[in-house]
Structure 1
Amino acid sequence: MTQPTYYEKRNRKRLRVTRNRLKRLLPSTGTSLGPLSVLPDELIREILLRLPARSLLRFQSVCNSWRTLISSSQFAKDHVRSIAADPSFSHPRVVYHGFWFYRYKRFGDFSVQSLFENPSQPTEVVRFAGKSSHEIIGSCNGLLCLQDNVMGNCIMLWNPCIGLTSQPLEIRGFIGVCGFGYDHVNDEYKFVAVVDQKHKQEPLRFETRIYTFCPNSSKRIIQDTAFKRIIGDGKGVFVPGTATLNWIHWHGLVLSLDLVKETCSEFSLPLNLKAPENKSFVFPHLCMLKNCLAFCCSHEKTHWSVWLLKEYGMPQSWTRLATIHCHHSLLTGAALHPLYIRGNTLLMAVASTSKIVLYNLDDGRLEFPLLKPTPADVPMGLWFYIYHESLVSPSYRCLRNTKGAEQLPVK
């Protein structure tokens, strides 16, 4: 029997599935609901697809048919699609980690909904034990891609919601540039790594590899030298729907890797970082906002510019979202990382100070929500990522509770 995850234990309540509850889930359908026993299976499935993943874990105990449905890999995929179509069905979470080589390493997550709805009240942080050596590469469909630096360059997938990890992939060589994403055409999760193959008495030799998470994990080598001059931390930003990983190239371009075709292309940023008039721009980086690729950079450490790419791959569609002035002492000289937008409020993280910021896009007002317990006791700062909870299994081929799934401890 599968052991309940931390989230199941923490949120377990007496389950009551009532007729009124179902009516609230479908307020606009106009459907006249009779006794629950006569609801067609198709309608029950449609209702369940609109529920958060954490609720669905509890609802598996309603009956055997619900457990079979909810635990199927196809339902997990359809649930991810329903969230993508209407994000209101699920509330994202922020996961963070410290620097793996530092003894004050921290790893945990917290609710985005709580930050927006109650910014004056401390948001509860869930800390995960046993991850002092793990670093987050990226997230996709509720899965986090983790790198274990102590055990060698081991890469694994982890779903925090269901508490399972995949078998690790061992990467030989030093990983400089990397990224994680999903090839929706071939239904495959892929990890990209630019590896330094340096041997004694030999010059540097870089190799760009694409690994596929599958029962017989494959590795392919692609010939591309553009990855040698990537700006930033080297982690690619995945853009759902396009199946691309994206980095900032030294020449002031976006380097895009298509995970389906496994080919590279380039397009320009909204600012020419190599132009003399833009030499004062610092801390450039990419992120995802409102399902669009976004670009953020600081100008002379006085203000930040945030841009959205409305149409992927079309540089003329870059649109300025915000200009954020660094008049607050907590923002001066710091690297801002936009994470999420809800309504007219932009959620950002200050990595160097481990602070969370809410920025009002209309009036420029700033709020600094509190976290409890605070992760701010990490002197070297934290890295923050957004992920949506899902039922997708990290086991290869999305098979739930298979032999390849292992539990990671949580506290």
Structure 2
Amino acid sequence: MEPPHDYYERERKRKRKPLRVTINAPERLLSSTVTQSQPLPFLPNELIREILLRLPARSLLRLRRVCTSWKTLISSSQFAKDHLQHSTAADPSLSGPRVAYHHNYRDGFGDFSLRSLVENPSKPTEVVLLEERLNHTVIGSCHGLLCLRFDVVGINTCVRFRLWNPCTGLFTTASVECGDFLSDRGFGYDHVNDKYKLVVTVKHRREYTTRIYTFCRNPSKRAIQGIPFLSIKGDDKGVFVPGTATLNWIRSHAILGSMVFSLDLVKETFSEFSLPLNDPDDKTFFSPQLCVLRNCLAYCFDHEKTRWFVWVMKEYGVPKSWTKLAIIPSLPCLSNYHFRPLYIWGNNILVAVATPSRIVLYNLDNGSFEFPLLKPTPSIGLYVFIYHESLVLPPYPELPSSSFS
């Protein structure tokens, strides 16, 4: 009996010489047409680096296992900085923006994907609950790092702060300790000196002092006198504007009404400039908020509880560059409550609403609202921060641990 037709095909494949795969040479591309007698195609290291810079941070974490040279490259601080700059400049959505939140102290800490929430709001977005950090609160975010506050309970209870990269799991070795801590004011980055800094207000012998702590192996601190934090309006968390090395608040001025109060983290000095609309006698403005939209300082306020005005400052520190971005109507289910714009994705503004606690999407083109679903449903409030997944190393990082990974 003659063998079936596919028998000869199987025999031919079985006798074919196997492909040569070189594990320790990732620079060479494999092809189904390459045999042992042919050299494998070669990619220069410079081109490989350019390709890797265009991949998401989470993918790069897995690619570190390919070989030693890739691990060395991807783990370097310079590559992390270049990757951050490329991902945020080319297409911020490629940097895996996520929403981190906490609601009250010891009452919830977690995060979720912004892409998932915006692209399919009708499908529940999975919330990652970080129960091991229930006693942590977020002070601010910058370059993929979260500045966290936590209390150390013992004979002498003290307040500490440390930096954490949720994507890599790395955190700072040394934490900033504020024994006479009163309130946290903000977290940002000094790009001139390549330092991350924390601003707090402390009370010592009935005197209030503003201190700027620098995250390093032995955290340093410097006191600054004359900072008018007692006149700050609304949320006392400073808004960090990328590229400016400034933290910003709204404060009341006896003569000029409300002003933007700006603290320069490089010079460690402060200045003030005006808001787009400013009438100290106008009682129709409620709950003014500063935020960052498209890497610009933004200002929003409620007008007569009927609509929210959103302005952006296109050129930082130049009042004439204030530009009206949107007028968002107040819905019956959202009126009379504080809200905070968080991020612009395409033609949508992501907004956090305090009560009822939820995330809202407002379409800038057609004026429609969407109410994305989160699973499980967290209690978010206004303690919400956007961070972009990155490979940036916290100063003097430690490896992840079971207690703080």
Question: Normalising by structure 2, what TM-score?
Answer: 0.84
Secondary structure in 2 aligned to 1:69? Answer: helix
CA distance in 2 between counterparts of 1:408 and 1:271 reads: 48
Residue number in structure 1 paired with 2:164: 158
1:363 matches 2:369:
no
CA distance in 2 between counterparts of 1:154 and 1:210 reads: 14
Change (3 A) 1:347 1:134: same
Change (3 A) 1:382 1:179: closer
Cα RMSD between the aligned structures? 2.2
Amino acid at match of 2:220: S
Which moves more between the two structures, 381-390 or 146-155? Answer: 146-155
CA distance in 1 between counterparts of 2:64 and 2:143 reads: 20
Q: In the TM superposition, what is the alpha-carbon distance from 1:176 to its structure 2 partner? A: 2.8
Q: Tell me which of 85, 94, 97 is aligned to 2:99.
A: 94
Secondary structure in 2 aligned to 1:394? Answer: coil
Q: In the TM superposition, what is the alpha-carbon distance from 1:409 to its structure 2 partner? A: 4.9
Residue number in structure 1 paired with 2:221: 219
Deviations 1:163-216 (A, max 9, x none): 12213210122333511111111111111112122x4xxxx3111111111112
CA distance in 2 between counterparts of 1:309 and 1:63 reads: 46
Change (3 A) 1:62 1:306: same
Secondary structure in 1 aligned to 2:132? Answer: coil
Secondary structure in 2 aligned to 1:298? Answer: strand
Q: Tell me which of 335, 338, 354 is aligned to 1:335.
A: 338
Which moves more between the two structures, 206-215 or 222-231? Answer: 222-231
Residue number in structure 2 paired with 1:117: 119
Greater Rg, structure 1 or structure 2?
A: 2
1:303 matches 2:328:
no
CA contact (8 A) 2:29 2:41 kept: no
Residue number in structure 2 paired with 1:241: 243
Q: Tell me which of 63, 69, 72 is aligned to 2:76.
A: 72
Secondary structure in 1 aligned to 2:61? Answer: helix
CA distance in 2 between counterparts of 1:367 and 1:231 reads: 30
Q: In the TM superposition, what is the alpha-carbon distance from 1:89 to its structure 2 partner? A: 3.0
Mind listing any 5+ residue stretches in structure 2 that lack a counterpart?
1-25, 31-38
Residue number in structure 1 paired with 2:134: 132
Amino acid at match of 1:253: M
Amino acid at match of 1:287: C
Amino acid at match of 1:231: K
Question: Normalising by structure 1, what TM-score?
Answer: 0.83
CA contact (8 A) 2:290 2:297 kept: yes
CA distance in 2 between counterparts of 1:269 and 1:137 reads: 24
CA distance in 1 between counterparts of 2:179 and 2:284 reads: 38
Amino acid at match of 2:392: V
Q: In the TM superposition, what is the alpha-carbon distance from 1:243 to its structure 2 partner? A: 0.7
CA distance in 1 between counterparts of 2:231 and 2:166 reads: 33
Deviations 1:130-184 (A, max 9, x none): 2222111100000000111464221111111111221321012233351111111
Change (3 A) 1:85 1:36: farther
Q: Tell me which of 261, 264, 284 is aligned to 1:255.
A: 261
Residue number in structure 2 paired with 1:170: 177
Q: In the TM superposition, what is the alpha-carbon distance from 1:84 to its structure 2 partner? A: 2.7
CA contact (8 A) 2:139 2:187 kept: yes
Amino acid at match of 2:269: T
CA distance in 2 between counterparts of 1:181 and 1:165 reads: 16
Change (3 A) 1:75 1:407: farther
CA distance in 1 between counterparts of 2:312 and 2:306 reads: 21
Change (3 A) 1:156 1:284: same
Change (3 A) 1:236 1:406: farther
Amino acid at match of 1:143: L
Change (3 A) 1:273 1:50: farther
Residue number in structure 2 paired with 1:210: 212
- The number of residues matched between the two structures is 362
1:395 matches 2:395:
yes
CA contact (8 A) 1:123 1:370 kept: yes
Q: Counterparts of 1:268-279 in structure 2 under 5 Å?
A: 268-274=274-280, 276=281, 278-279=282-283
Amino acid at match of 2:140: G
Regions of 4+ moved over 3 Å:
16-20, 405-410
CA distance in 2 between counterparts of 1:384 and 1:70 reads: 30
CA distance in 1 between counterparts of 2:93 and 2:326 reads: 24
CA contact (8 A) 1:165 1:408 kept: no
Secondary structure in 2 aligned to 1:231? Answer: coil
Q: In the TM superposition, what is the alpha-carbon distance from 1:39 to its structure 2 partner? A: 0.7
Q: In the TM superposition, what is the alpha-carbon distance from 1:91 to its structure 2 partner? A: 2.5
Q: Tell me which of 315, 319, 328 is aligned to 2:323.
A: 319
